[in-house]
Structure formats: structure tokens, C-alpha cells
Structure 1
Amino acid sequence: MTTLELQKALKAKGFDPGGIDGAMGRNTIAAIRGFQAANGLAVDGIAGPDTIAKLAAGNLPPAANLSSNLSMPWFTEAQRAIGITEDTGPGSNPLIIGWAKRLRIDYGDDEVSWCGLFVAHCIGLTMPAETLPTNALGARSWGSFGVDCTPQPGAVMTFWRESLQGWKGHVGFYVGEDKNNFHILGGNQGNAVNVSRYPRARFLKSRWPKGAPAPTGTGQQMLADGRLAPIND
């Protein structure tokens, strides 16, 4: 089930997600929470397996055919943002500045590193009850976010930059890995949102939102043809 299909399903059940636009925003989250409350489910605003199963009752497709991506709405939002770039001129991209304004983060120039802001946007938009780091702009601050987890799709990954003992770093979301690198979906990667490689030697922490379903995934090996395959223990 895509986010668009989720919105249509909620609408059909009488829970208005606002615009049927495929964006996991506050109105859609509120509709999910309303549906969960009305159906005796845990009210967390995340369309996990139990919520999908309830929504699947009636004329919707069987739950077994639905995508689990809705359990990681922050990761879906990150993928939607691929291609967004900062303004390389004297101004700033108003979309990036808007992320900060919505989260009430003091940030006014996209020449300042925004990898932490991107992660804060993805999680803050789709999981408004989740506690963000006090210094969300600081990449290494995300090392204490949520709960610890093994690297897996959607995990918040932090890395050191320039010096292990210093304060500079990078943060983004795990996509996959190869022998030498983690493949990270993040912001401010070459001034844009994209998937880039970051050396394993610079890896610091892998974290998971507390309010999300427990992290039970596994690492994903990036194959030579670009496909991903689960890493077996």
C-alpha cells in the first residue's frame, strides 16, 4: 500500500487525511490516529501491520500484499525528497528554510550544513510526537536519538568527519551497504538530497525512533547491478 492508497483507504473509512496527495503529513497522521482510536489499536499515528490489517477489512487488498514501508513514514518522506538541492547562489532554497521554520529551528542559510535538518524534517513531519535532539542541526547529536539498532533500512546513521575526536559529522538514513561503505540517503550530500557512500571506518551510531515499531530488519547488501539483497547472519 502506498501513502496515496493509505489516504484513500482512510477516507473510505470516514477518517479525512486532508488532500489525497501521497504525502505523509500531519493531516494523514491525525487520520491514522483517529482510525486507530476508533478500532482499539495502539494510537501512534503509524500505519503498521495491525493498522493495515484493520484497514484491509472489506474491499481493500489483503494485508499480505501491502508494503511495509508505511511502518517507516520518515524513510518514505526521505525518498520523496530525493533531488531537492540547496540554492548555490546568494539566496537559500525556501523549501529547506521552511523545514526549519516548521520545526522552530534557528536556521536561515542553506550554506550552513543541513544534513541534521533534513533528518529532523523527515522524522518531525511524519512522527510529530517523536523527541528530536536538542541540537538537531548537529549531526553527532543524532547519536543519542531514539534507541540503538543494527544498521538496516530507515535507521538514522551518524558518521564522524575530519576527526573522530572532533565535533563535525554527518547524519542520514541507511539504504544499504557494500564491503567498504554504507549507502546513505541524506541531505547536504553534494548540496542535495541523494544516496551517497560513507566509509564504514567513519561510522559512529545507528539509531531508531522510539515511537516506531521495533527495529527488526537486517542489513542490505548493495549488489553490483544496484539491487539490494538481505545480509544473512
Structure 2
Amino acid sequence: MTFTDIQKALSARGFDPGPIDGVWGARTTAAVRAFQASKGLKVDGIVGPRTAAALGLDATVTNPLIDPSLVWFQAAWRLLGTKEAPGTSDNPNILQWASRLGIPYRRDDVPWCGLFVAHCIGSTLSAEPLPNNPLSARNWLKFGVQTTGQAGAVAVFYRGALKGWLGHVAFYVGQDDEAYHVLGGNQSNAVSVARIAKNRLLGFRWPSTVPPGSGKPVLLTPSGQLSTNEG
């Protein structure tokens, strides 16, 4: 089951998801919610097993990293490779993320890991409250509900001193014995996957408006050096 499959199934049943393009946006979410309401299902805009079955789709997940029910996580993957503009220039796409969310943000040389997470969640989960000042990575410890390391979870780390204020926030991809693999912004000045030492973790969070995930860790083979400063 892909986003395109979901959009096609919605359209075939008279619920307009917008363009059939495999991109999860506000119109697709609205169509899912309308379909769920028509079937007496929980109206959350997420295509879980029951909604998938009602759409005639197979909700079996063989790879949690491409699970279409994790709409915010898939939005993050689509932005892999997005970079800051060099020198004094700014990437207009990064600035636009902030503008759409009403977040004051003027330059992409200001740490934007929190902005990246806010954009991915805010653009796909319209009912999900974001933390106050989402640019501050440690504020994401107040987001949603506590969870464990699993695909799509928001992972919050400290930078510098444990008791300080610097931090980093990204999405859990997997883990090895030494580190968590995370998909985040402002990692080497780009959206990338980095390995961060497990002892830097402050906590995992999960969207409060989304059903609990599988809770299962994703075990990966170590690859690359440990990231030491994501700012």
C-alpha cells in the first residue's frame, strides 16, 4: 500500500484527495477523514488497518521505514538531501517551512532541526499540536506522548552539556549497538541520516493524535562515523 494506492482508492469511492501524485497533503488528509466519517471509523486522517480494509487495501507493513500510515515520517524522507544555501544566501524552501507555520525565522544559518521536524508534522498532521518555540530542540520533549525507539518517533538529544540548553531533534530510523540512526535537518547542513550516540538521547516522543506505533526497534548495521555536533 502506497500513498498513490490510497489516493486512487479514495478517488474511486468519490472522495477527492487532490492530484493522484503520491504526495500526502491537506486534501488527501481531508478525503481520508471524510471517508472515515462515512464508514463510522475513527476520524483521525490516518490510514491504519481498519481504514485500509474499508478502502480495499492491504495494510500489511513489511518495512516500517516506508509505512504509509506514518505520514509525517514519509514527508521527512521526501526531503532527504535538502541543503542550506551556501554563504549568505538562504534556501527559500526552508524559509517557507517557517512561514507556513507562522514561525519567526529569517536565515537558514540558524539551527533548523526543530523547524524541519515541525514542518514534517505540521504539514501532514493538521490536528497535532506543536510545542511552543519548536525551533528549540529540547522543547520537543513536551511534544505528543512518550514512546520508545521506533520508526518515525521524534528523538531528542542533547548537545554540549547534558544540563545545558543546546539540543538536536530528528526522526528515529533505527539503531545499532552504539548509536541511533536518525533522519533530520541541519545534519551536516542538510536533511540527512546521521548516527548519534545512544548516551546523548533525552527521550522519544510520538504524535498524540496518531495511534501508537508498533513499538518495535529497527536494528541496523553500523555505517559511518558518529555525529558529534549537529548545529
Give the alignment's TM-score, normalised by structure 1.
Answer: 0.91
CA contact (8 A) 2:176 2:222 kept: no
How far apart are residue 110 of structure 1 and its match? 0.5
How far apart are residue 23 of structure 1 and its match? 1.1
Residue 30 in structure 1 maps to residue 33 in structure 2: no
Letter in 2 for 1:28: T
Question: What does the per-residue CA deviation read over 1:207-232, in whole Å, with 9 as the maximum and x for residues that have no partner?
Answer: 00001111332111112689xxxxxx
Secondary structure of the corresponding residue to residue 88 of structure 1: coil
- 2: distance between equivalents of 1:11 and 1:163? 52
- 2: distance between equivalents of 1:208 and 1:62? 24
Letter in 2 for 1:203: L
How far apart are residue 22 of structure 1 and its match? 1.2
Distance 1:37 1:217, change over 3 A: same
Residue 147 in structure 1 maps to residue 134 in structure 2: no
- 2: distance between equivalents of 1:215 and 1:63? 14
How far apart are residue 150 of structure 1 and its match? 0.9
Alignment of 1:69-148 (within 5 A): 69-148=67-146
Secondary structure of the corresponding residue to residue 206 of structure 1: strand
- 2: distance between equivalents of 1:216 and 1:63? 13
Residue aligning to 1:2: 2
Residue aligning to 2:229: none
State which of 199, 218, 221 in structure 2 corresponds to 1:220. Answer: 218
- 1: distance between equivalents of 2:102 and 2:72? 19
- 2: distance between equivalents of 1:45 and 1:161? 35
State which of 161, 173, 185 in structure 2 corresponds to 1:187. Answer: 185
Letter in 1 for 2:31: A
Q: How many residue pairs were aligned?
A: 222
Residue aligning to 2:53: 53
Secondary structure of the corresponding residue to residue 107 of structure 1: coil
- Segments of structure 1 that go 5 or more residues without pairing to the other structure are 227-233
How far apart are residue 188 of structure 1 and its match? 0.6
Letter in 2 for 1:5: D
> More deviation in 36-45 or 216-225?
216-225
- 2: distance between equivalents of 1:62 and 1:164? 44
Q: Percent identity?
A: 52
Cα-Cα RMSD: 1.7
Residue aligning to 1:204: 202
- Segments of structure 2 that go 5 or more residues without pairing to the other structure are 225-231
Residue aligning to 1:13: 13
Letter in 2 for 1:189: Q
Question: What does the per-residue CA deviation read over 1:58-105, in whole Å, with 9 as the maximum and x for residues that have no partner?
Answer: xxx544478771221111111111011111221211111111111111
Secondary structure of the corresponding residue to residue 70 of structure 1: coil
Residue aligning to 1:229: none
- 1: distance between equivalents of 2:162 and 2:223? 33
Letter in 2 for 1:9: A
Letter in 2 for 1:45: G
Letter in 2 for 1:190: S
Give the alignment's TM-score, normalised by structure 2.
Answer: 0.92
- 2: distance between equivalents of 1:110 and 1:169? 17
Residue 156 in structure 1 maps to residue 154 in structure 2: yes
- Stretches of 4+ aligned residues off by more than 2 angstroms: 61-68, 223-226
